[in-house]
Amino acid sequence: MHPPSRQDYISISLAGQGTYNNGKQWRRQSCWRKWKRLSRLQRSLILLFLFMCGIASYPAVTEHLRGLTDGERSTESNSVLRPVFPQVLPEPVTPRPEPSSQKKLSNKRGPPILQNRLQKKGNGTVAVGEQKEEGVVSWRGAVVDADRDTEEAKEEESKDHLLANHQSGSSNQSEASLLEAVKDAFRHAWQGYKDFAWGHDELRPLSKSYSEWFGLGLTLIDALDTMWILGLKEEFEEARTWVATELTFNKNVDVNLFESTIRILGGLLSTYHLTGDTMFLDKAKDIGSRLMPAFNTPSKIPYSDVNIGKGTAHPPRWTSDSTVAEVTSIQLEFRELSRLTQDPQYQDAVAEVMKQVHTLDGKLDGLVPMFINTNNGQFTHQGIFTLGARADSYYEYLLKQWIQGGKKEDQLLQDYAQAIEGVKKNLLQKSSPNGLTFVGELSHGQFSPKMDHLVCFLPGTLALGAHHGLPADHMDLAKQLMETCYQMYTQMETGLSPEIVHFNMHEGSIRDIDVKLADRHNLLRPETVESLFYLYRFTKDHKYRDWGWNILQNFNKYTKVSSGGYTSINNVRDPDYTSPRDKMESFFLGETLKYLYLLFSDDPSLISLDEYVFNTEAHPLPIWPSTA
């Protein structure tokens, strides 16, 4: 079914009925004549309208430029925009090459709705969901392919629609049916990847093609342990064969140290542990050793990028800085590689980073800035503190390294505990009117009520800490933040969270959460369902499952592509017009669906949290035995 055609823009027609055969000159004269004919009142109204449009778009655009987030390292990498405040964010990411066989999609930025809605088709203006070129139609935001068998598509749509409209939760369903729903979602996502992107980094489900980042089969590797945990043996075996026979790291390609560590090295190590198959360990050793040149810097703080074929490393073109979260969130994986290979070089390299960061000036009550210089080893762009992009997993890995090492490394624990106190003191506030607890940001002493979806890892990490003996008030805070993260979903018209929200703090506000135009996208991110998994494991409170169930239904309703795969969307605020982005991030299979499955499982021994610690890409690594 096609959505009713909509007029989502205001048209001011200054041209007359005449033809356009005299070119630009004619148009300019005609417009000027028409303008002169308007009354003073009419002209003033038009000018006022244009002025208001300019004012309205300014904050959203500047915020968007300033707020390039972690995920946008990968998703917006084609952009050449520079941030407005270069002292905060030196430059966006390295462009990712698109395969030449693919049609280039527009990578324009700016308010996504306007950008996509006004695409011309013949003489008319159509919504992107109506575009037939790529075989896509949109029905109440549910994405289906035009070339799909109609009956089959209708049946699936109505199933999703029914489910989404019965968001009473998961309580009246058996554990088996909940687990099966996640398996269905995985199979559907996998089918799309298999059909259109096999062996490539990411599926582009609408254009039925793929995108490359490193050219290393990122989605396939990220998904290996998820398939194992979900018991999808056939799919796993096929993927294993590809890894064994096709995957090679002997490639002249620049990879991001952090992303390839958490997704590739982490994915291979965890699959090795789950399966006992040494082929995965051999591959892990190969990529691990190829990443080591990143640490050859004057300060030993690693560069962001490594050429795994040439053995050379370098910072981004525009700076000699690395991101703090990136250099401090590779430790679990490198430490484990050392333990398995009995070769200390990996652990030594990442321990040196932690040692230096521990002693650095420029922290605020244990909170760290977002950048660190690879020449002098000092923090740069100081004075800005966030639990979101570029700092987030620093905090996560303090706690998790401590757990991984058997709770012996006191410095890690102290840094973590101090940072949580720092969060409470400097970043925690309540919204109005409903008093939602949220984590904002601080910029040179100025508080901003901005919270990235990425921050929603924090309830889970706090709960994990409390489970491992940290103060009980960490659990209280975890529960409050969990509620807030869920509200970020449920208060949106699609029931899916945007990338970034702003909380209202002034008395008399009518709603707690605002979303700027440029922040309305959803990238199928895992952080909220990740935290729901921890909260449910530790409390057994069924509301967390219900919440996860509702989120899954909304992913199915608004992001599922019927010809296979799921897509990120641009607009969580309009169920009729979600504006799909045509990209399935590898973490949807690596993390989001895995955490949903674990959330719905009542078996605490399925990846026991007393035996495993998840890396930041949801790959479980063993907690070291006490003799290690």
What letter does residue 18 receive in the DSSP assignment?
S
Q: Known binder of ligand: residue 616? A: yes
Q: Is 525 in the site for ligand DMJ (CB under 6 A)?
A: yes
Among 79-87, 198-206, 297-305, 519-527, the segment contacting ligand DMJ (CB under 6 A): 519-527
- Which residue among 72, 392, 441, 617 is the active-site one? 392
Give me the least distance between CB of 256 and ligand DMJ, in Å please: 11
Instruction: Tell me if residue 483 is catalytic.
Output: no
| Kind plus residue range of the DSSP H or E element containing 207 | none
Which of 70, 134, 201, 254: binder of ligand DMJ (CB under 6 A)? 70
Could you tell me what percentage of the chain is helix, strand and coil, using 3-state DSSP and rounding each to the nearest 5? 50, 10, 40
| Kind plus residue range of the DSSP H or E element containing 84 | none
611 Cβ contact list (under 8 Å, min separation 6): 622, 623
Looking at beta carbons only, is 400 or 525 nearer to ligand DMJ? 525
CA distance 397 to 329: 6
Is the bond preceding residue 433 a cis peptide, omega within 30 degrees?
A: yes
Contact (CB, 8 A) for 587 and 526? yes
Q: Is 617 in the site for ligand DMJ (CB under 6 A)?
A: yes
Positions in 427-456 near ligand DMJ (CB under 6 A): 454
Give me the least distance between CB of 396 and ligand DMJ, in Å please: 7
Looking at beta carbons only, is 128 or 621 nearer to ligand DMJ? 621
Integer CA distances (angstroms), 304 to 291, 313, 452, in order: 10, 8, 22
Of 233, 248, 262, 188, which is closest to residue 584 (Cα–Cα)?
Answer: 188
Integer CA distances (angstroms), 130 to 137, 203, 522, 580, in order: 5, 21, 20, 11
Residue 517 backbone dihedrals phi, psi, to 5 degrees? -50, -45
Q: Is 192 in the site for ligand DMJ (CB under 6 A)?
A: no
Instruction: Tell me if residue 527 is catalytic.
Output: yes
Please count the residues of the chain: 628
SS3 441: strand
Among 152-160, 289-297, 520-528, 544-552, the segment contacting ligand DMJ (CB under 6 A): 520-528
Which of 366, 459, 526, 548: binder of ligand DMJ (CB under 6 A)? 526
Which of 71, 293, 449, 575: binder of ligand DMJ (CB under 6 A)? 71
CA distance 330 to 336: 10
Looking at beta carbons only, is 320 or 568 nearer to ligand DMJ? 568
SS3 439: strand
Q: Is 497 in the site for ligand DMJ (CB under 6 A)?
A: no
Give me the least distance between CB of 454 and ligand DMJ, in Å please: 6
CA distance 372 to 391: 11
Looking at beta carbons only, is 116 or 256 nearer to ligand DMJ? 256
Q: Which two tokens stand for residue 252?
A: 């002249």
Give me the least distance between CB of 489 and ligand DMJ, in Å please: 15
Give me the least distance between CB of 308 and ligand DMJ, in Å please: 19
Looking at beta carbons only, is 431 or 531 nearer to ligand DMJ? 531
Looking at beta carbons only, is 69 or 431 nearer to ligand DMJ? 69
Bridge partner residues of 202 (DSSP): 211
CA distance 614 to 332: 9
Q: Which two tokens stand for residue 413?
A: 């624990």
Transcribe 323-363 into DSSP letters. EHHHHTSSHHHHHHHHHHHT-THHHHHHHHHHHHHHH-S--
Instruction: Tell me if residue 259 is catalytic.
Output: yes
Of 63, 37, 202, which is closest to residue 500 (Cα–Cα)?
Answer: 63
- Which residue among 63, 225, 259, 591 is the active-site one? 259
Closest residue to ligand DMJ, judged by C-beta, is 616
Contact (CB, 8 A) for 559 and 497? no
Looking at beta carbons only, is 326 or 582 nearer to ligand DMJ? 326
Q: Which two tokens stand for residue 75?
A: 């998703």
- Residue span 380-419 as binding mask against ligand DMJ, x where in contact by CB under 6 A, dash where not: -------------x--------------------------
- Which residue among 134, 157, 415, 499 is the active-site one? 499
Give me the least distance between CB of 70 and ligand DMJ, in Å please: 5
- Residue span 562-601 as binding mask against ligand DMJ, x where in contact by CB under 6 A, dash where not: -------------------------x---x----------
CA 350 from centroid of its chain's CA atoms: 25
Instruction: Tell me if residue 392 is catalytic.
Output: yes
Please work out the total of residues on this chain that contact ligand DMJ, with binding judged by CB under 6 A: 11
Q: Where are the alpha helices (DSSP H) in 22-174?
A: 23-37, 40-66, 70-75, 112-117, 150-165
Q: Is 272 in the site for ligand DMJ (CB under 6 A)?
A: no
Give me the least distance between CB of 457 and ligand DMJ, in Å please: 7
- Which residue among 527, 530, 585, 617 is the active-site one? 527
Looking at beta carbons only, is 440 or 460 nearer to ligand DMJ? 460
Of 221, 198, 341, which is closest to residue 270 (Cα–Cα)?
Answer: 221
Looking at beta carbons only, is 273 or 400 nearer to ligand DMJ? 400
The position carrying tokens 């990490």 is 461
Among 438-446, 458-466, 508-516, 522-530, the segment contacting ligand DMJ (CB under 6 A): 522-530
Give me the least distance between CB of 72 and ligand DMJ, in Å please: 10
| Kind plus residue range of the DSSP H or E element containing 503 | strand 500-503
Active site residues: 259, 392, 499, 527
User: Which residues contribute to the site for ligand DMJ (CB under 6 A)?
Assistant: 70-71, 393, 454, 525-527, 587, 591, 616-617
Task: Provide the annotated binding site.
Answer: 616
Give the residue numbers of the binding site for Ca(2+). Answer: 616
